Copies of this chain bind each other. A is one copy, B any other.
Amino acid sequence: MNRTKSATRRRRGRGSAPSRYEELLDTATRLFAQLGYERTTVRIIGSELGIESGSLYTHIQTKDQMLRDIVIRIANLFFERAEAAVTESGSAEDRLRALGRAHLGILDEQRDAVWVYYENWRKLEGSYYREIVSLRKRYEEIFAEVVQDGIESGEFKPVDAKWVVVVLLSSLNWVPQWYSPNGPLSASDIADSLLNVLLTGVRTTNDSSTASRTNSRRPKR
């Protein structure tokens, strides 16, 4: 309980008492992350909060409304932080790094909620699902534009922006799968390390013809 409250407080800033619903949502988030949405019963959520499962329904409408709330909040947060990150002027590389740090910063702050988001967003129904799909698409476009900018300005090689975005977002999105918050690496460290690899590449010789060689043997879409 202490943990829950302090987490809420941290997120919502000092002084403002977190509403009971926010506390429930925090607990639910943690449990959904630990056990999975389906395996987390309302009884478990209740007992974690020290109340009966029925009492939950003083504050929530349905279990899946909680999931929706968690998912939509995070999807919006990703989008907003990304927008904020690219408004800062700077080189394409700087902005890409800002995007990476913003992305993993959210993971750092809201680990459980992010995990719940990744695992469950496809389960949302109808309009909620479509809203998420749309947000995810616009999120990708923010990345793609930065890469495109870099290519056009000559800062980046004339690669296919799409594949760069795929590699970058894959790397970022996969982090929750292996990242342990107690490890020595901060979110920024990871973002920079991943970007270093992506930006620098691996091959010693700058044989840029290789790309076209391998790519050329398929007519492409």
A contacts, CB < 8 Å to B: 36, 38-39, 93, 97, 108, 119, 123, 147, 150, 154-157, 159-160, 163-164, 166-167, 169-171, 173-175, 177-178, 183-189, 192-204, 206, 208, 210-211, 214-215, 218-221
Residues of the B chain whose Cβ atoms lie less than 8 Å from the Cβ of A184: 220-221
Q: Is the CB of A210 within 8 A of B196?
A: yes
Closest chain-B Cβ to A37's Cβ sits at a distance in Å of 8
A147, A157, A214 interface centre (most CB from chain B within 10 Å): A214
Closest chain-B Cβ to A132's Cβ sits at a distance in Å of 13
A123, A203, A215 interface centre (most CB from chain B within 10 Å): A203
Closest chain-B Cβ to A140's Cβ sits at a distance in Å of 10
In addition to A36-B123, A154-B204, A170-B171, 13 A-B residue pairs with Cβ atoms within 8 Å of each other are: A36-B38, A38-B39, A156-B203, A156-B204, A160-B193, A166-B178, A174-B174, A192-B214, A193-B215, A198-B198, A200-B201, A200-B206, A200-B211
Contact of A194 among B163, B178, B208, B220 (CB under 8 A): B163
- Stoichiometry, as copies per complex, reads 4
Closest chain-B Cβ to A153's Cβ sits at a distance in Å of 10
Q: Is the CB of A167 within 8 A of B171?
A: yes
Q: Is the CB of B210 within 8 A of A199?
A: yes
A195, A199, A202, A203 interface centre (most CB from chain B within 10 Å): A202
Residues of the B chain whose Cβ atoms lie less than 8 Å from the Cβ of A38: 36, 38-39
Question: Which 10 pairs, one residue from A and one from B, show the smallest C-beta to C-beta distance?
Answer: A201-B201, A170-B174, A38-B38, A184-B221, A192-B214, A196-B211, A199-B203, A186-B221, A186-B220, A170-B171
Residues of the B chain whose Cβ atoms lie less than 8 Å from the Cβ of A39: 38
Q: Is the CB of B166 within 8 A of A171?
A: yes
Q: Is the CB of B174 within 8 A of A194?
A: no
